[in-house]
Structure 1
Amino acid sequence: TSSKSDIIDIYREKSRIQRNSLWMVDLQGEVLEEIPLEDPDSYCAYSATGTATGGVVYVNYGRQQDFDWLQSAGVSVVGCVVVMRVGGGVSYAEKVLLAQKAGAGGALIYPDPADIPQDPRRLGLNSYTAISEHVHLGSGDPFTPGFPSFNHTQFPPTQSSGLPVIPAQPISANVASKLLSQLTGPVCPRGWQGRLPYVRCVLGRGFTSADGRRIRMGVYNTMTPVLLNNIFSSLEGRIEPDQYIIMGAQRDAWGPGAVKAGVGTAILLELARTFSNMVQNGFYPRRSLLFVSWDAGDFGNVGATEWLEGYLSMLHLKAVAYFSLDQAVMGKTKSHSITLLQLMIQIVCVCVSLQDSRPYPFVNTPLDTSGRLQEVLGGRLGVVGRSLGELVGLMVLRLAHDHILPLRITTYSHTALQFSAQLNKHSVELQARGLSPQWVFSARGDYSRAAETLQEAILNSDVQDETMTRIYNTRMMRVEYYFLSQYVSVVETPFRHVLHGRGEHTLSALTEHLSLLTSDPRRFNEALFRRQLALFTWTLQGAANALSGDIWNIDNVF
């Protein structure tokens, strides 16, 4: 089995020739000083390879609003190396892509004590430790976007649009402090100040010395094909074997991976063992259970994505729910689960996580050990893990046995209603531009009525009628699939879900664009908004039609 350890070995072998590095250089490019990275084995997977030389600009978290503020303040990052801190609700991939769009030449990402505890005496991160992560704004193999990479498939290599073209490198708080403490320039706005020692928050571009110093960063990562192995175990259902409840956890990690992969894998194995013992005692579920250990999760859910892409047609109307066990304790399972939901498959994703009140700072570092996790949890790791496993087991049992799937299809009605309220707030501005929200209101009404009608029919149905319950379950399971936009390319837009995805086709993008009508009318693009509104409307209408069932029950007027 080839997993993350093999990839690390490949990178280390290459790094013996030339390691990722930072230098202080003069205007002629002569090296004045090498800045040790302190954590030389840290890296950003999928970073562009090469060097970037320029002034340094501090960009806070590297969010869109941070770059917008810099632009409004007249601070350019074009050709510069930007320094940004971990967090802020955006991934490494989003940070680097936004920096690239702003014209930066390179990106350095560090953990700030304001966001991640850095006192080892209080279970914090060492100040000389960097946090590794991948920077591909997408999911799966970045050279087979939208299609599987099984057995070196015959699809021609296609580079994902989510791969960065600028180098990116994680750095420690110490290295960030050394860079930022020497910067000159305007003072940072309120809320940008971190807690690096001896650092006065300024935006930068120049250094305190008058010798025209600049930073040069060098990234020498080498991408090499590696064999990945997903491991499956299944328990076939007795009545509806073609419907699946999937439980999955990644087993790779950047370091020891106690939280990242260890706990989830342990719970997955225990669930598989428990259900296996139940079968030996005469237990058989109504629907099939699938236990999956995913490979290469740290590189953008590669193992899970490629499997879904490879068996997508088979899984349509087959998968009932997916339970993500990644970072199940002290972790952030939501992003991984939603990523799987965004991948073109109409399943319900369940995020399972038990979190302590204290943050866990060691994810994606060599410090993510079982000993530290046990200490953070006060010796309760076994108890917490068992409780979580029992909770998942009970939820799986219900999904595996209930005649009618316990899916709340009316939830999206509320989401659509909230958006309708936002449109009403801007009705005057929209009418002035000849834009009518009437079709959205109609689609929302159709969806709400279809959901309520189906819910009422289920309540009044005979759950012993196998034919009818299967029809109802199929209609509910279609909903997520029909919330995947049919109007964007799966190659260019891997996250097509209009509510949980990313891109101009999503409801969040449409809402942000709508807000420009009052906040910044000059940036409002009427043609783009018309397209966004139309595509969202018909995606919502498609979901409503799917819930309605038979074609003769759909009452649209064209």
Structure 2
Amino acid sequence: MAVAINQARTSISKMFNGEPRSYTRFNLAQNNDADSSQVEMKLSSDVEDEVGNPEDNHAPITYTQSPLHNYKKVCYLALGTLVIFILGYLVGYVSHRKPDAAAESCPTVLASTEEEGQDEGPEVAYLPSLGWNDITTLLEQKLSPDAFNTKFSEFSLPRDQTHEAGSDGDTHLANKVLGVFKDLNMQSWEDEHHVKLPRPSSDNPSKVLFGTEEIGTPKGFLAYSEVGSKTARVVYGNYGLLEDLSACIDKKVDLNGSVLLLRAGQISFADKVANAAKHGVVAVLIYPDPSDYDFKSSTELYGHVHLGSGDPYTPGFPSFENTQFPPSRSSGLPSVVAQTITASMALKIFQKMGGDPAPPNFQGKLGGGLSTYKLGSANDTVTVTVNSVLTETEIYNVFGVIKGNEESDRYVVIGAQRDSWGPGFARSTVGTTLLVELARAISEMIKNDRLSLRRSLVFASWSAGEYGSVGATEWQEGYLASLNMKAFTYINLDGVVTGRQMFKASASPLLYDLLKKTLNQVKNPLATPPGKSLYEQHAGSDWEASILETMKMNDAAYPFLALSGIPSISFRFCKDGGEYLYSGTDLDHLDHLQYATSSKIGELAVVAAQVAGQMALRLVHDHLLPLDVERYGKEIRKQVVEVNSRVNRLKQTADLDQALSEALSVKWLTTAYGDYGRAQRNLQETIKNSDVEDKEMCRIINDRIIKVEHNLLSPYVSVREVPFRHIFFGSGEHTMQALLDHLSALQQKAPESNADLFRNQFALATWTIQSCANDLSGTVWEMKNEI
């Protein structure tokens, strides 16, 4: 304030004393030799050069001003003094106001801070929105273990009441979630789908026979198995990994036409059945071996065998009521009869099997590990009968939205599965509770604590997740065009707490940097010593190797990434050295999760909510989206280097004709990668030189960022035929992994290899990357590619 007054006094002094002022285009100088009514105006040199000098080059151009009346002088001086004083006060206030050290991005200024209806009281200052440190502190204050432990009981059902998709229990929980959203004054709605879900037949149960002796009638269930009865020799194939089946073939065991006995674990049920089908297997039995699962030998397993997501009987189409569907089915549906059996049933089969001993790594602990596992003989005949009924079922997805103030049409989706085969405490209850608690906490921060969001948050409770993300996938298929350029991140809350020793995540490379920063900020009260950040606790010397995993098809975030091209992330706290044993069983209840987490479910839920909440809030708070396009450049480079290496090996080891050898060039793929790198650097330079307060400029930059993931969906394949079109994370012949596999097949001269087909795949993958680079470059007049 004192500085401002001094500035004002100096200005007044200059006005009265006539000190000269300098201007850009001309100078005013007081003529001390003449009357004060005369002022000289000297043209600056640049203007002199432009218009020329008068005849007397040294004589100044002089203008004469007539004397003013005294009272006019006094009025003008008083008015000038008042204006300068006010300006000085404002300049002094602004320049000496302490900046918000916590704000890591430019704040959005809120409207009036006055309480409605308040007529008296002290004047409230016009405050900026919250800084980032304020936001994270508030979020931490809003979440507590006690609140989570209370909510867990509200969103769980008794053990004897089913959560299965479309059941009364599922609908009951949907209404609870919807009620919470409405109580928080969120705009909320339901999305109804009519999907075909298989159910076990109560009249004609599934059964397994060894010869003519019944092994059992399992209650466990694998949805989307082929229905029918198959009889064939039984072969033991360990986990059903491709290398396991190759080991069987190396032992001269014929898999074609056999019944394959596999133990659960390592890969999904769908992957096991798909691997078996590649070798001509007609039926698959899957059991939990005591070496992997420490529960009772009578425990049943539940799951699905659709190698995909969504309703497999409406591939590429949303299952809305009265929608006309073509007669089609997903290519991911197996043609194999598949059934789970208990460990006790598997033991009966092993005790009757003959044949050669299984390899050492195939050995398990059935029967206390006293018996040696056999591969099976030609006389070991097993019959597998699977009976299920395909039922059209109504399912409901529930949504609530917190709208942003500037770009409400852009949103982050946070989702959790609501249904489960059994009690589903870790599978559905924890995730659903996190969903509603995050919605409550952020709503309260907006209502009571001045939180202002630029973009929107959509909270989604999905049904039929146990059948392969059916609810979430059908929603995406129904709104693919609407989600493009609007939904720019998906955060999955399924299974976020299944243990406490380790932290694992799978995500789009665009989200790696945001995840790393979040892990550095979130403290874990259960760490040793307490208060360590998650990054310090779990990262190790290489955080990506320690924490990151490849996103798998059975991950609920997978269809968002590979089908819709939306950057997605899943994460979880888990036990050291293994998965949560009770998922997909009737044993997934509170007591077992308490045991797996050392009775710290509430504390871990708070930390998980902090991770999801901070990532979501950062994405909807900052001017520019914190999605790292540079990290994707590293992923592209890694793939290009691997392709180049295999092409060189192929040329050196295979007898190729000259035309094919010349055609197998990575030149254009390398050029596409180079163009992506240049586009990414150009974007960084644009960001560096841009004003983040310019809303239009921020939106243009964000558009370029958002498109990256979507542009890596191959435009050359049909979403109906190949739903997972992402060239890095998808599934099919269009992917970079398929190219690498084809190069290996060409080198080995495998029968399925085809040089012309490979060249076509290679060209399409190259142009997908090139198109992504072009779009990242910006407008068409900024693209300088010469590919």
Same-fold call, TM cutoff 0.5: yes
Match 1:93 to one of 263, 267, 270: 270
1:309 matched to 2:477? The reply is yes
* Structure 2 residue 567 is the aligned partner of structure 1 residue 348: yes
Confirm or deny that 1:492 pairs with 2:721.
Answer: yes
Where does residue 428 of structure 2 map in the other structure? 261
Of 45-54 and 13-22, deviating more is 13-22
CA drift at 1:545: 1.2
Secondary structure at the counterpart of residue 228 of structure 1: strand
Greater mean deviation of Cα atoms: 360-369 or 94-103: 94-103
1:122 is matched with which residue? Answer: none
SS in 2 for 1:378: coil
Pairing 1:419-498 to 2, within 5 Å after superposition = 419-426=639-646, 427=648, 429-430=650-651, 432=656, 433-434=660-661, 435-498=664-727
SS at 2:422 equivalent: coil
The whole-number CA distance in structure 1 between the counterparts of 2:464 and 2:299 is 23
In structure 1, distance between residues paired with 2:462 and 2:321: 17
Q: How many residues align?
A: 537
Residues 317 and 346 of structure 1 are in contact (CA less than 8 Å); yes or no, is this contact kept in structure 2?
no
Query: Within 1, Cα distance between the matches of 2:268 and 2:384?
Result: 21
Map of 1:8-27 to 2, 5 A cutoff?
15-25=201-211
Q: Distance in 2 between matches of 1:51 and 1:7?
A: 32
* CA shift digits 1:9-68 (9 cap, x unpaired): 99999633111111122xxxxxx311124xx33100011111010110112222233333
The residue aligned with 2:114 is: none
Residue 370 (1) aligns with residue 582 (2): no
Return the alpha-carbon distance in structure 2 between the equivalents of residues 162 and 417 of structure 1: 31
Residues 100-141 of structure 1: CA deviation (Å, up to 9, x unaligned): 231111111122233x231xxxxxx22221321111111101
Q: Could you tell me which residue of structure 2 aligns to residue 219 of structure 1?
A: 386
User: Contact 1:52–1:216 at 8 Å: present in 2 too?
Assistant: yes
Structure 1 segment 242-261 matched on structure 2, within 5 A: 242-261=409-428
- Determine if contact 2:210/2:349 at 8 Å carries over to the other structure: no
Q: Distance in 1 between matches of 2:166 and 2:287?
A: 24
CA contact (8 A) 1:49 1:167 kept: yes
Cα pair distance change 1:475/1:19, threshold 3 Å: same
Matches within 5 A, 1:203-214: 203-206=375-378, 212-214=379-381
1:414 and 2:630 aligned = no
Aligned residue in 2 for 1:147 = 317
CA 1:394–1:187: 2 relative to 1, 3 Å: same
Look up the match of 1:323.
Answer: 491
Letter of the 1:233 partner, please give it. G
Larger Rg: 2
Amino acid aligned to 1:225: E
Identify if the C-alpha distance between structure 1 residues 72 and 440 changes in structure 2 by more than 3 Å, giving closer, same or farther. Answer: farther
- Following superposition, the deviation at residue 144 of structure 1 comes to 0.8
Alpha carbons of 1:377 and 1:317: their partners in 2 closer, same or farther (altered >3 Å)? Answer: same
User: What is the deviation of 1:498?
Assistant: 0.8
Q: SS where residue 445 of structure 1 aligns?
A: helix
Q: 1:76 to 1:436 in 2, by over 3 A?
A: same
Residue 214 of structure 2 is aligned to residue 34 of structure 1: yes
Secondary structure of the residue aligned to 1:416 is: helix
Contact kept in structure 1, 2:465 and 2:556, CA below 8 Å: no
Deviation at 1:539, TM superposition (A): 1.2
Kindly provide the CA deviation profile for residues 379-435 of structure 1, in whole angstroms up to 9, marking residues without a partner as x.
100111011112222222111110010011112221222223223333152474421
CA contact (8 A) 2:166 2:394 kept: no
- The farther-off stretch of 311-320 and 511-520 is 511-520
| Matched residue, 1:274 | 441
Shift of the 269–428 alpha-carbon distance from structure 1 to 2, 3 Å rule, reads closer
Q: Secondary structure at the match of 1:247?
A: strand
Distance in 1, Cα, partners of 2:373 & 2:742: 31
SS of residue in 1 equivalent to 2:361: coil
466, 473, 478: which one pairs with 1:298?
Answer: 466
1:550 paired residue among 775, 779, 783: 779
What is the root-mean-square deviation of aligned Cα atoms in Å? 2.5
Mapped contact 1:136–1:142 kept (Cα < 8 A) = yes
Is residue 2:757 matched to residue 1:528? Answer: yes
Within 2, Cα distance between the matches of 1:46 and 1:552? 51
Which among 184, 191, 204 is matched to residue 361 of structure 2? 191
Q: Which stretches in structure 2 are left out of the alignment for 5+ residues?
A: 1-161, 171-195, 507-551
Determine if the alignment matches structure 1 residue 391 to structure 2 residue 577: no
Give the Cα separation in 1 of the matches to 2:200 and 2:633.
Answer: 53
Q: Cα distance, 1:348 vs. partner?
A: 1.4
Is 2:725 the partner of 1:506?
no
Q: Cα distance, 1:509 vs. partner? A: 2.1
For 1:342 and 1:277, the matched residues in 2 are separated by 31
Could you tell me how far 1:338 is from its partner in structure 2? Answer: 4.2
Structure 2 letter corresponding to 1:387: V
Using the alignment, how far apart are the partners of 2:370 and 2:433 within structure 1?
Answer: 43
Match of 2:136 in 1: none
Query: What is the distance in 2 between the residues matched to 1:193 and 1:21?
Result: 26
Give the match for residue 229 of structure 1.
Answer: 396
Q: Name the structure 2 match of 1:209.
A: none
User: Kindly tell me: are residues 97 and 302 of structure 1, through their superposed partners in 2, closer, same or farther at Cα, counting changes over 3 Å?
Assistant: same
State whether residues 319 and 346 of structure 1, in contact with CA within 8 Å, keep that contact through their aligned partners in structure 2.
no
The answer for the alignment partner of 1:29 in structure 2 is: none
Does the CA contact (< 8 Å) of 1:127 and 1:172 recur in 2?
A: yes
2:80 paired with 1:80: no
Whether 1:178 aligns to 2:348 is yes
Q: Which amino acid aligns with 2:376?
A: G
Structure 2 SS opposite 1:227: strand
Shift in alpha-carbon separation, 1:418–1:462, aligned structure 2, 3 A: same
SS in 2 for 1:321: strand
CA distance, structure 2, for counterparts of residue 416 and residue 199 of structure 1: 49
Post-superposition offset of 1:369? 0.2
User: Aligned pair in 2 of structure 1 residues 552, 305: CA closer, same or farther (>3 Å)?
Assistant: same
One-letter amino acid of the counterpart of residue 141, structure 1: D
Tell me which of 298, 307, 313 is aligned to 1:137: 307
What CA distance in whole angstroms lies between the structure 1 residues aligned with 2:645 and 2:738?
Answer: 17
**CA distance in 2: counterparts of 1:49 and 1:350, whole angstroms:** 35
Mean Cα displacement is larger for which, 414-423 or 10-19? Answer: 10-19
- CA contact 1:246–1:323 (8 Å) conserved in 2: yes
The normalised TM-score by structure 2 is 0.65
- 1:343 deviates by 4.5
- The answer to whether the Cα contact below 8 Å between 2:259 and 2:285 also exists between their aligned partners in 1 is yes
Whole-angstrom CA distance in 1 between matches of 2:376 and 2:168 = 36
| Amino acid in the other structure paired with 1:400 | V
Residue 357 of structure 1 deviates from its aligned partner by 2.3
Residue 236 (structure 1) shift: 1.0
1:3 CA displacement: 4.7
Out of 453-462 and 380-389, give the one that drifted further: 453-462
Amino acid at match of 2:626: P
- For residues 174-225 of structure 1, the C-alpha deviation after alignment (integer angstroms, 9 at most, x for no partner) is 222222333222333453333333442332243xxxxx45111110011101
**Aligned partner letter, 2:207:** S
The answer (yes or no) to whether the contact 1:244–1:288 under 8 Å persists in 2 is yes
CA distance in 2, matches of 1:11, 1:302: 9
**Counterpart of 1:540 in 2: which secondary structure?**
helix
Q: Equivalents in 1 of 2:216, 2:169: separation in Å?
A: 20
Greater mean deviation of Cα atoms: 74-83 or 41-50: 74-83
Matched with 2:233 is 55
- Which amino acid is 1:51 matched to? S
Q: Aligned equivalents of 1:229 and 1:382: distance in 2?
A: 28
Is the Cα contact below 8 Å between 1:2 and 1:227 reproduced in 2? no
User: Measured at CA, do residues 11 and 504 of structure 1 come closer, stay the same or move farther in structure 2, by a change above 3 Å?
Assistant: closer
Assess if the C-alpha contact under 8 Å between 2:650 and 2:743 holds in 1: no
- Matches of 1:458 and 1:505, distance apart in 2: 33
Superposition deviation, residue 541 in structure 1: 1.0
Deviations 1:50-93 (A, max 9, x none): 101011011222223333343454322222110112223x3211
Q: Deviations over 1:513-555 (max 9, x none)?
A: 3334556666643233223222211111111112111122223
Matched, 1:117 2:293: yes
Task: Rate the CA distance shift 1:401–1:45 in 2: closer, same or farther, 3 A.
Answer: same
Fraction of identical pairs, as percent: 41
Output the CA distance in 1 between the equivalents of 2:331 and 2:463: 23
What SS does the corresponding residue of 2:439 show, helix, strand or coil?
helix
